[in-house]
Chain A
Amino acid sequence: MRIGVVTFPGSLDDVDAQRAVRLGGSDAVPLWHGDADLKGVDAVVLPGGFSYGDYLRAGAISRFAPVMGEIIAAAQRGMPVLGICNGFQILCESHLLPGALIRNDHRRFVCRDQLLRVENNRTPWTAAYAEGQEIRIPLKNGEGGFVADAETLARIEGEGQVVARYLEVNPNGSLDDIAGVSNERGNVVGVMPHPEHAVEELTGTGTDGLGFFTSLAASVLA
Chain B
Amino acid sequence: MKRNEDWMEIYQNGDETGFTELYTILHEPLYCFLYRYTQEAQLSVDIVHDTFEILQIKKHTFNPDKGTVKAYLFQIAYRLLINKLNRRKKWRSLLPFLVPQADHSISMDEKMWVQQAIAALPDKQRAIILLVYYEDLPQNEIASILDIPIGTVKSRLHKAMSTLKHDLKEDFHAEG
**Chains A and B come from one and the same complex:** no
Hey, which bits of chain A sit against chain B, CB under 8 A?
none
